């Protein structure tokens, strides 16, 4: 049975830096200001953009990533918003840029084609006029079955420039111009080395989201754009049961999971938090920055973030670090990704050469570098059986970090890891007692066995605690 399509639009560009994010935020805010319920999506693995979508007014925000997620899992996430009035999907990099050389998989064009979605092409018009039409025609030719519904002309220099651009696009490309955005109409989003500044640090009262919405409302005919978005192809009705759903016994239903969540730790895929909510009696958030002690829990989860930015404050909260070490000594089960690994290490050395003592749950240390150390998708194979991992289990995740972990000579890696598209393999994943950490960010929609085993591992700790 086919569903009636919800208006949906992919916001794309031919390269990074054309203004996709601010146009996306502006559309979300402008439609929300009209009283519409908007679901928003980011193509690719970026944690940061979806949190800004929610700040701008989206009622639902998720990533769509066919590398990290199974096809069924990605469908579940796309249709998991419940009743909404519109869907806005922000592309990744350029329209045809995918993470695997020579393949379209994971590109914006790939996702638009999979879901049958029309494209709003955002064009950087600096230093050109009619020539922008050549890029648009080229994109339309390569897209084949995916329609470019309209183009948004960004960074327009003057009314005369806008006239030249619009006339050229209409006559040479034959595509509608949704609107012209003059230079400085959209604000620049603050960023740091890993991308946008997280929404947790970025307050709506700064007016950035409102300014984005006002710019879009003033430049675009939103009614016409919604009609363009309604050209989204019907999709087959899918089961409301998530792809990773399974029977959950009463023991796991009693599980308590504690999540590190503050300015230093905020990189979590929403579907991962949804996964734990569906499988535990209680999910508690805590702050290694502000709390004096850790909460009582069966499983502690430290996600990614910016521990290097807050290294002095994290180190200064000595009481929390001591309490966490005590709990780990008592057998607490801890899982960490990327920034969480950094915090659980012995110390973080920042780029100024200062070493900040951390939790000390792992024997190694982390060192920040002036240049990026890893970016991309990685495939990891488990090297040996552990309490919750089986030998030869294969995982697919994403890494983006400017630090390295120095484990020490005695450390034994849990994974053998290889960047997708590369040949070189490296040691990864570190286990110290009941603490397991790696740089790999994982989604339950692509690593269902890992997360099932992680929950079972936490449940085993719960049983021991309650005897």
Q: Which residues are catalytic?
A: 338
Is residue 39 packed enough to be buried (19+ CB in 10 Å), middle (13-18) or exposed (0-12)?
buried
Residue (of 364, 48, 40) closest to 195 by Cα position: 48
Q: What is the DSSP string of 54-80?
A: HHHT-SEEEEE-TTTS-HHHHHHHHTT
* Helix (H) / strand (E) containing 400: strand 394-401
DSSP states of 401-460: ESEEEE--TT--EEEEEEETT---EEEEEEEETTEEEES-B--TTT-HHHHHHHHHHHHH
Query: In a 3-state reduction of DSSP, which class is residue 10?
Result: strand
Task: Assess contact for 115 and 131: CB atoms under 8 A.
Answer: no
Q: CB of 29 within 8 A of CB of 212?
A: yes
Would strands 191-192 and 195-196 be described as parallel, antiparallel, or unpaired? antiparallel
Tell the residue number behind the tokens 């439609």, with chain if given: 31
User: How many Cα atoms occupy the beta-carbon half-sphere of 28 within 13 Å?
Assistant: 32
User: How does strand 265-267 pair with strand 299-302?
Assistant: unpaired
Contacting residues for 128 by C-beta, under 8 A, at least 6 apart = none
Tokens of 360: 């000390």
- Could you give the C-alpha distances from 160 to 118, 129, 176, in angstroms and in order? 29, 10, 18
> Within 13 Å and on the Cβ side, how many CA atoms surround 48?
18
Instruction: Please list, residue by residue across 188-205, b when 16 or more beta carbons sit within 10 angstroms of its beta carbon and e when fewer do.
Output: ebeeeebebbbbbebeee
Going from the C-alpha of 33 to that of each of 39, 56, 179, 212, the distances in angstroms are 14, 10, 19, 12
Q: What gap in Å lies between CA 317 and CA 222, rounded to an integer?
A: 49
Length of the chain: 467
> Looking up tokens 């909404």, which residue turns up?
84
């Amino acid at each position: 049975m086919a569903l009636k399509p919800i208006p949906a639009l992919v916001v794309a560009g031919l390269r990074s830096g054309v203004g996709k994010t601010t146009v996306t935020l502006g559309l979300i805010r402008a439609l929300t200001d009209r009283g519409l319920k908007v679901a928003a999506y980011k193509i690719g693995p970026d944690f940061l953009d979806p949190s800004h979508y929610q700040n701008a007014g989206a009622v639902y925000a998720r990533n769509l990533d066919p590398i990290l997620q199974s096809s069924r899992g990605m469908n579940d996430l796309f249709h998991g918003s419940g009743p909404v009035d519109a869907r806005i999907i922000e592309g990744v990099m350029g329209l045809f840029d995918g993470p695997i050389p020579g393949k379209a998989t994971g590109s914006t064009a790939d996702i638009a084609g999979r879901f049958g979605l029309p494209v709003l092409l955002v064009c950087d018009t600096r230093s050109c006029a009619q020539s922008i039409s050549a890029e648009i025609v080229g994109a339309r030719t390569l897209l084949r079955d995916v329609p470019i519904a309209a183009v948004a002309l960004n960074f327009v220099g003057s009314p005369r420039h806008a006239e030249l651009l619009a006339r050229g696009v209409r006559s040479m490309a034959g595509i509608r111009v949704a609107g012209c955005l003059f230079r400085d109409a959209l604000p620049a989003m603050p960023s740091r080395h890993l991308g946008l500044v997280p929404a947790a640090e970025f307050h709506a009262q700064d007016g950035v989201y409102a300014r984005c919405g006002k710019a879009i409302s003033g430049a675009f005919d939103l009614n016409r754009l919604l009609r363009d978005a309604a050209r989204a192809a019907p999709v087959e009705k899918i089961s409301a049961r998530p792809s990773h759903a399974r029977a959950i016994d009463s023991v796991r239903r009693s599980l308590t999971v504690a999540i590190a969540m503050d300015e230093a730790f905020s990189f979590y895929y929403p579907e991962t938090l949804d996964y734990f909510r569906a499988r535990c009696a209680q999910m508690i958030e805590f702050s290694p920055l502000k709390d004096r002690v850790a909460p009582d829990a069966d499983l502690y989860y430290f996600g990614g973030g910016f521990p290097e930015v807050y290294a002095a404050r994290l180190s200064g909260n000595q009481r929390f670090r001591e309490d966490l070490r005590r709990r780990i000594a008592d057998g607490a089960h801890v899982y960490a990704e990327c920034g969480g690994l950094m915090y659980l290490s012995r110390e973080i050395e920042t780029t100024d050469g200062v070493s900040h003592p951390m939790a000390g749950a792992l024997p190694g240390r982390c060192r920040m570098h002036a240049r990026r150390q890893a970016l991309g998708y990685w495939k990891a194979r488990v090297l040996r059986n552990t309490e919750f991992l089986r030998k030869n289990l294969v995982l697919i995740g994403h890494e983006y970090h400017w630090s390295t972990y120095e484990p020490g000579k005695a450390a034994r890696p849990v994974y053998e890891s290889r960047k997708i598209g590369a040949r070189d393999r490296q040691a990864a994943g570190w286990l110290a007692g009941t603490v397991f950490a790696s740089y790999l960010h994982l989604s339950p929609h692509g690593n269902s066995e890992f997360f099932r085993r992680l929950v079972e591992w936490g449940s085993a700790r719960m049983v021991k605690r309650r005897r």
